[in-house]
Chains A and B, each alone.
Chain A
Amino acid sequence: MLDATVYERIGIAVGSTALALLISLVIVAAVGHDPLQFARDLIVGSFGSRRAFSRTLQFTTLFILAGVAVAVAFRAGVFNIGVQGQLIIGGISATLAIIWVAPFLPNGVGGGIALALLGLIAAMVTGGLYAAFPGVLKAYYGANEIITTIMLNFIAIGIVGWAVDGPLRPDDARSVRTDYLPDNVALPQLLFENPNFSIVGLAFALVVAIVISIVMTRTSLGYDMVTSGHQEPAATFSGVASKRMIVTTMTLSGMIAGLVGAIFAIMVQGYFIDPSGIGNYGFDAIAVSLLAANNPLGVVPAALLFGALDSSSSYVQINSGVPVQLIDGIVGLVVLFVAAPELFRMIAKRTGLGGDDR
């Protein structure tokens, strides 16, 4: 299935998503709610109003970036499960860089753009480093990156959580958070009036997806990475230094993951919060990427699906009384139908424990 054609892939993704939705309707009916009402609420809650739509796009933006981060690594045969941790590190770095440098820059739009760029760069650097570390451990010491990246997620949550509740928390803050970012750092409000979303942010995410797609298909580096993921001995034969490639891949993946955190801080929040309160973008991104067959462009529609499901959950709960956990359940079904078999196949292929590839 990993080697299915693009059309087969799209068919599989659409089919399994439809099946997951269908089964969830049955479950909704079985627990005594009106399934048609539920289906209507899902759509209304995610696309039914400008407000709902912009909220869907807000989630989609973050899922695109996180999904691309995962896709880069998976495509190259490296299992970066640490996008959540890398985005937390990236987000706090972007926030702090902006807050620290802001006093030295003019207040106007120019200063805002400079600060936003600074934040993005800081996030890429720290997110990349935070991912390079498990990459080095894997390449040169044989540490399984699945395990190390998961552990690094907890470390990021713990340390940043402590810092945001401690030294970084302003005295007048009633919730656990950092200082506010300067007002001129916010992304412009165009088309939608939603303080947590800007179409500029979405455009940025799309550009990242396109750039990564071009890198993967049109550059030597991308060919090296994808070939390493397909058949590592052939990549080595062709001159890829496989250990260095693992570190490169992890770094690139972590840089994109860092951007998720930066966009979260700049576009969504305007400050940084307790990392345990940030959505599970890094984990759901694994499903997003697998649904998209680890194709950076395929991540966009997959991210839209996950964004819509996340976006409609509270509306569904209020309107149809269906608990929000059930929405998570749908996501779970999608994962079960497409993503999980794919993931196991990829792991099986890599460990040589079978898989239907060859």
Chain B
Amino acid sequence: MSVKNEPAKVRLEGITKTFGDVVANDNVDFTLEEGTIHALLGENGSGKTTLMSVLYGLYDQDEGSIYVDGDHRTFTSPQDAMNAGVGMIHQHFQLIEPMTVLQNVILGHEPTVNGLVDEDAARDDIEEICSRYGFNVDQHLETPVEELDLGTRQRVEIVKSLYRGAEILILDEPTAVLTPQEVDGLMTLMEDLRKAGRSLIFISHKLDEVLQIADQITVLRDGAAVGTVDAADTHEQELARMMVGREVLFDRLSRETSVGDPVFAAEEISVLGDRGLEQVSEVDVTVRESEILGIAGVQGNGQTELAEALTGLRPVESGKISFRDADITETGRRRRIELGIGYIPGDRQIEGLVQNYDLVKNALLGNQTIEPYAKNGWLDWGAVSEHADEIIEEFDVQPPNASVRATSLSGGNQQKFIVGREIGHEPTVMVAAHPTRGVDIGSIEFIHNRLIELRDDGLGVVVISSKLDEIQKLADRIAVMYEGEFIRTVDPDEVTEEELGLLMAGKRLEDESVDADAEPVETDSEAQS
């Protein structure tokens, strides 16, 4: 596969890219050999797309070098990258929908005769490309893109890149939008492209796809390259472990109080995602008092949608949600806050804080109808201001100044503020989505201890996380979510990290004895599997 005495097709050396104080890529090395498919594997937010955007000239790296065919290159725009033979197919297609396939393919690179677009020449070229690689888009050349299905649009994107002379193709999560049949088609196409000598970078977070198609696999985690392995020498278990990783060794705490009665439950709820596809499929959730239910899973398997459905931010398509025996399926978010269903949102920048508000105003977020901060629709800024100071004090938010804007706080401090505010609601149930994502180790401990305190105070807590160690440390019961379903509910004391990693990758365990003996399990997972 790899040719030893020739320079690699693409070599990235020590790429570092930061956005503000967020490190998206941390000294990443990456080598693509000619004529191979190299997968870039990692969770959402691990820096895969950023790395490829650097290669494609969309971002300027802070540090590091790019080599194509052994030559040092500086790309200041995608145009530069394209001239060097690098093409990228984005997750969201860059096609102009009302224009025909032909027009889209030649856009910006139109062959001309006397200043006029020479469509005949273009057509010949495109047909030649299609026949060489076995595409079947040439019969669609005069069809407006908006009439094509997503799989065909994706092929149009690939043809567009090839038409522009791409030797290296970057495919950003290409399977995310496709049906299983379309995925098979794409895989065949990628193999054909490899046979024809093109080099491909395949960005994905799906283990089975990566193992199926790639020659090499580089795993990214939290912006850093964890390692590169040959696909032939690895297996899902190892990849899962590399992807999810373990940053801090957490000790699982033994618990003293006993689990209480169910307070919050969802029965067979199905939830649609933003694209209108079902992201949660007939899931049962039962949250008991004095219990932390951990929901583990690789991101993008429906956890966000599930959390939003539970907290009232997203409607359910079917099923029922109940709180203390009352049906709250149709109850809006505000009423659920008032009932005591707290939510630490997964996206603190967008949802959890208003970036341009100071911390006083942010302390009111979600409290607009809660006494003493509001009475009969009138706000008491004095009480809100005191509350902000309390949060800052108790949760050690830095800088300890309620008049600074949220945007000037570091991620960890923003998160501590949010956690403090949501706990301040005195909830009965707390749903915490990725409560420690991007948070420094000290704050992680702090937030974990708070969540455990909540449980010991008798709350029902749901922790959604893709960090295995966090889930294992906190949860009294772990439900593993995969492709919108709980494929298994396990007892954290009896499951190993490897087994959890496999479950998260969608593999059912062969050793059935791992199945927890606790009775909550049966109500949750087994009924639907």
Interface of A toward B, CB cutoff 8 Å: 3, 218-221, 223-224, 227, 230-231, 233-234, 236-241, 357-358
Contacts and interface: CB of A to CB of B under 8 A. Distances in A.
24 contacts: A218-B378, A218-B379, A218-B381, A219-B377, A219-B378, A219-B379, A220-B368, A220-B369, A220-B379, A223-B379, A230-B357, A231-B350, A231-B355, A234-B350, A234-B351, A234-B353, A236-B351, A237-B313, A237-B352, A237-B365, A239-B333, A239-B337, A239-B369, A241-B332
Given A220-B374, A236-B351, A238-B367, 18 more contacts: A219-B377, A219-B378, A220-B369, A221-B377, A224-B368, A227-B365, A230-B354, A230-B357, A231-B356, A233-B347, A237-B352, A238-B365, A238-B366, A238-B368, A239-B332, A239-B333, A239-B335, A239-B368
Interface string B342-381: 0101010011111111000100111111000010011101
A248 to B, nearest CB: 13
B407 interface: yes
A240 B312 CA distance: 11
Nearest to B312: A239
Contacts of A237: 313, 333, 343, 345, 351-352, 365-366
B391 to A, nearest CB: 15
Interface in B322-338: 332-335, 337
A49 to B, nearest CB: 44
Nearest to A221: B377
B217 to A, nearest CB: 33
A238 B332 CA distance: 11
A313 to B, nearest CB: 38
A3 B356 contact: yes
Contacts of B333: 236-237, 239, 241
Contacts of A223: 361, 364, 368, 379
Interface string B47-84: 00000000000000000000000000000000000000
A217 B361 CA distance: 10
A219 B334 CA distance: 16
Chain A at the B interface: mostly helix, strand, loop or mixed? helix
**Which of A220, A224, A236 has the largest count of B CB atoms less than 10 A from its CB?**
A220
Interface in B474-498: none
Q: What band does the interface of chain B fall in when counting residues whose beta carbon is under 8 Å from A?
A: 20 to 34
A357 B407 CA distance: 11
A358 B355 contact: yes
Interface in B82-133: none
Contact of A233 (B351, B356, B364, B377): B351
A233 B334 contact: no
Contacts of B356: 3, 230-231, 357
B407 A358 contact: yes
Given A219-B378, A231-B355, A236 B313 contact: yes
A228 B355 CA distance: 13
B19 to A, nearest CB: 11
B68 to A, nearest CB: 30
A241 B314 CA distance: 11
Contacts of A240: 334
A349 to B, nearest CB: 11
Contacts of B357: 227, 230
Top 6 closest A-B pairs, CB basis?
A239-B334, A237-B351, A238-B366, A220-B368, A238-B365, A239-B333
Contacts of A241: 332-334
Contact of B354 (A220, A221, A227, A239): A227
A223 B334 CA distance: 14
B377 A220 contact: yes
Nearest to A220: B368
A351 B351 CA distance: 17
Contacts of A219: 377-379
Interface in B192-211: none
Nearest to B366: A238
A303 B341 CA distance: 46
Nearest to A214: B378
B114 to A, nearest CB: 36
A169 B381 CA distance: 53
B504 to A, nearest CB: 27
Among A224, A239, A241, which residue has the most Cβ atoms of chain B within 10 A?
A239
A239 B379 contact: no
Contacts of A3: 356
Nearest to A240: B334
A218 B373 CA distance: 11
Contacts of B352: 234, 237
Nearest to B369: A220
A238 B355 CA distance: 14
Nearest to A357: B356
Contacts of A236: 313, 333, 351
A30 B377 CA distance: 57
Contacts of A233: 347, 350-351
A194 B361 CA distance: 46
Nearest to B349: A358
A139 to B, nearest CB: 15
A3 B408 CA distance: 14
B184 to A, nearest CB: 34
Contacts of B364: 223
Interface in B28-42: none
Contacts of A224: 368
Contacts of A358: 355, 407
A227 B378 CA distance: 16
A357 B332 CA distance: 30
B369 to A, nearest CB: 6
A232 to B, nearest CB: 9
B377 A239 contact: no
Nearest to B347: A233
Contacts of A357: 356
Contacts of B313: 236-237
Nearest to B333: A239
Contacts of B368: 220, 223-224, 238-239
Contacts of A231: 350, 354-356
A352 to B, nearest CB: 12
Contacts of B378: 218-220
A267 B34 CA distance: 81
A224 to B, nearest CB: 6
A318 B513 CA distance: 98
A219 B352 CA distance: 21
B136 to A, nearest CB: 35
B451 to A, nearest CB: 19
Contacts of A238: 337, 365-368
Interface in B291-340: 313, 332-335, 337
A237 B418 CA distance: 12
A253 to B, nearest CB: 19
A223 B357 CA distance: 11
B403 to A, nearest CB: 12
B22 to A, nearest CB: 13
B352 to A, nearest CB: 7
A237 B342 CA distance: 11
Contacts of B335: 239
Contacts of A221: 377
Interface string B212-249: 00000000000000000000000000000000000000
B354 A234 contact: yes
Nearest to A223: B368
Nearest to A244: B332
- Looking at A3, A237, A358, the one whose CB has the most chain B CB atoms below 10 A away is A237
A234 B379 contact: no
Nearest to A3: B356
Nearest to A224: B368
A216 to B, nearest CB: 11
Interface centre among B333, B354, B364, B377 (most CB of A within 10 A): B354
Nearest to A219: B377
A75 to B, nearest CB: 13
